[in-house]
Amino acid sequence: MKKYAILIIPLVLAFASSYIQGVAEGAYDTFANGTSFFQSSIQEGNQLEPATQFAVIIVNDSLRYKDSLELKTLNTLREDGADFLSHVGQPSYSLPGYVTIPTGAFPEITGVTSNYYEGAPIDNIFRAAKDAGLTTAIVSGSDSWKKLFGDYVDVCYSYSPDRKELDLIKETNLNIKEKSIEVIETCKPHLFLIHFSGTDEASHKYGGNSSEYKEVAVQQDTFIAEILEHYNLDETVVFITSDHGHIDKGGHGGWEEETLTVPLVMYGAPINPGIGEAVNTDIAPTVAAVLGIRIPTHSQGRILLNGLDVADRIKASWMLQLAEQRRIFSGFYLGVLGAEIMIDVNYTDAVDFFNEEDYQESLESSEKSINTSAHLMEEAKKEKITGERLRRVPFFLAIVGLPLVIGFFAIRRKWITKRMVYIAAICGISYIFLFNIIFFVTGNTYSLSTINDDPDIGPFFNMMALLGVLLPLIIMAFAGGYLRKEKKFEIVMYCWIASAVISYIMVVQLGFHYLLQDNGISWYMPNMLLGFKYYVDAMQFVPLGYTSLLHPFVGLISAIVVVKLRK
């Protein structure tokens, strides 16, 4: 009778599938809806000393850095402007990028991790400009800008081609250009964000390396030149950038270099020509500096001083305010994590040096203070992550170790044979091999970028689930044919043990993800490559467990068919 205990395997696998399905759905909700422990309001800083009257941010949605090097207007501006290779955060989706540019904060702070968020959750340059009595405007190719920042903007227009044909994409860009010029001529906002959506629309529809995408990029580049003709660039600073890039076949959100590197060109007065590297979190504090508004409270970026030609006193005053903002933010951050808040003497030194008019020493002390704040936050983050991982170790060991103990016990008691385990292991390895061959040959990678657009999410994960059903059935069919000389119940045992081993391999992979970074997004942004693989693994496992009851029947039918064919 003991050997009939094997019948419990499909029940256990079905239960495991149900459990993992619930966990995966909850994890996806944390990603889609966003979560952050850091959205609370914190103390605002003082306004900075302005260096110009107007700031214009032009966002070429999805424009890749390497493609920007082929654009005439951008290259002309680069000659006398500051040219940065800018790095964006993950996930490299549009809304996370839209929010990072005006807030100076990464998605783990803003809580905006997908394209399904409405309303700016934290302080931003539009709000700061409005508080300072400056006029603001947005003209964009996406309704999302209005949803995110409309409460803080005096004038806001949006157009959306919604993935239509090339002519309509270009027509939308034309509308954006003409409306932008109209806004400049009628109200000339102090802070103006112009968002061209065409490059993103073309990349999704035709590919990130397509001729259509490049044609739209050239059109936007020409329109930028026309827009700038309506500004006096002796009193204006222009920031030209992108929210993210695109992979060649179309798609973004992942970790690829082409999705994470974008242009950032600064032009106008007072710009110091040169080249360098930046992060998209640097835009908000730099805009705040040149306009003379406060730095957004949750900003994690730096003021791009090497691209600005201002007096040492102004630089020192800006850096002092940035150090103060970072000191307040780091104290808030450390408090949320329950970490010790340290007293930073560098900030006090920076204040003293500034009051003594030793601006170079003040600037250097402010830089040290900012670095100290960053270091304290990073160390506290690492310590908390390590502590959480240690607390997850017992459960991880249980889900990984318990099946091994049960298997070892079953072999010792001779409920199953070593041959059964060997064949099951071959089946498990075959499943992993076949799945990954199909996964990569069909052009996929373990990256959010592999899903080109929102409507593709369902079909992609349905395909993963289908493979989780079909591949085990195919493997069981081969196993049944190979085991055709065995007794029928022995074939049943072989197949269910193989099901258990395949499932165990999947559980180990899911377990490692749980150990390293929990399920879903909690308070920090996890490794997105591992996170995407977690969803792919979960989508395979769920139907695999539910359909495991069919595995021995497929094996038996295959054995019978092979026997008949060989007669």
- How far is 426 from 418, CA to CA, in rounded Å? 12
Segment 74-92 shows an average pLDDT of 96
pLDDT tens digit string along 265-279?
999 989 999 999 999
The yes-or-no verdict on residue 95 having pLDDT over 90 is yes
Place of tokens 């305010």: 321
> pLDDT band at residue 2, thresholds of 50, 70 and 90?
low
Phi, psi (rounded to 5 degrees) for 84? -120, 140
- How far is 407 from 496, CA to CA, in rounded Å? 13
Nearest to 354 by CA among 368, 343, 366, 345: 366
Segment 59-74 shows an average pLDDT of 97
| Range scoring the smallest mean pLDDT among 192-196, 318-322, 484-488, 511-515 | 484-488
pLDDT tens digit string along 197-225?
999 999 999 999 999 999 999 999 999 99
Q: For position 161, what pLDDT does the model report?
A: 64
Percent of the chain with pLDDT over 70: 98
- How far is 252 from 234, CA to CA, in rounded Å? 37
Segment 140-165 shows an average pLDDT of 88
Total residue length of the chain: 567
The yes-or-no verdict on residue 399 having pLDDT over 80 is yes
> pLDDT band at residue 145, thresholds of 50, 70 and 90?
very high
- How far is 269 from 447, CA to CA, in rounded Å? 40
Q: For position 3, what pLDDT does the model report?
A: 59
Segment 98-117 shows an average pLDDT of 93
Q: For position 340, what pLDDT does the model report?
A: 86
Q: Which two tokens stand for residue 277?
A: 């590297």
> pLDDT band at residue 80, thresholds of 50, 70 and 90?
very high
Segment 346-350 shows an average pLDDT of 95
- How far is 218 from 70, CA to CA, in rounded Å? 9
> pLDDT band at residue 163, thresholds of 50, 70 and 90?
low
The yes-or-no verdict on residue 1 having pLDDT over 50 is no
Segment 461-480 shows an average pLDDT of 96
pLDDT tens digit string along 401-414?
999 999 999 899 88
Tell how far CA 459 is from the center of its chain: 21
- How far is 506 from 540, CA to CA, in rounded Å? 8
- How far is 458 from 455, CA to CA, in rounded Å? 7
Segment 378-397 shows an average pLDDT of 97
Q: What is the DSSP letter of 294?
A: P
Q: For position 117, what pLDDT does the model report?
A: 75
Segment 324-334 shows an average pLDDT of 97
Q: Calculate the average pLDDT of the chain.
A: 94
Q: For position 144, what pLDDT does the model report?
A: 92
- How far is 557 from 175, CA to CA, in rounded Å? 64
Cα→Cα distances 324→44, 314, 327, 343, 354, Å? 10, 15, 5, 12, 13
Q: For position 470, what pLDDT does the model report?
A: 97
The yes-or-no verdict on residue 462 having pLDDT over 90 is yes
Nearest to 266 by CA among 278, 255, 256: 278
Domains in the chain, CATH or no CATH each = 2-34+416-566 (no CATH), 54-308 (3.40.720.10)
